[in-house]
Amino acid sequence: MEPGPTDGSHTLTIRGDFECKGVIHEIDVLVTLSYLPGQLGDRMGGEVQGDLLVLRSSFAIKRVDYNIKPEMGFAKVANTINLQLAITGQAEQSDAEATTEE
């Protein structure tokens, strides 16, 4: 895992099985992981306090590797399909934690 510039983010490579249309291939994906302590309140309008964990990735798959036809109905599908994802997890701060930090 490599630390990011100064924002608490890290970049790592994750290896796993990717499934599309019943076809499974093992792939390596570069992921940026950002831990954002105390940022849950900003996202929730101050209603809930806590931390956020954000994972972001962009990767490409080949259409033919997953038996995706070049034409699906009226749409044409490129030979390379680019995928982008962002996953956010949250850890709410308990009332006990909030009172000990004040």
- Which strands form 80-92's sheet, in the order they lie side by side? 2-3, 9-20, 23-36, 50-62, 80-92
**What pTM did the predictor assign?**
0.70
* pLDDT of res. 18: 97
Taking phi over 0 as left and psi of -120 to 50 as alpha, with beta for the rest, 22 belongs to left
Q: Could you give the 3-state DSSP secondary structure of residue 76? A: strand
Give pLDDT, residue 85: 95
The tens digit of pLDDT for each residue in 57-82 reads 999 999 999 999 998 788 899 999 99
Residues of the chain with pLDDT under 70: 1-7, 44, 94-102
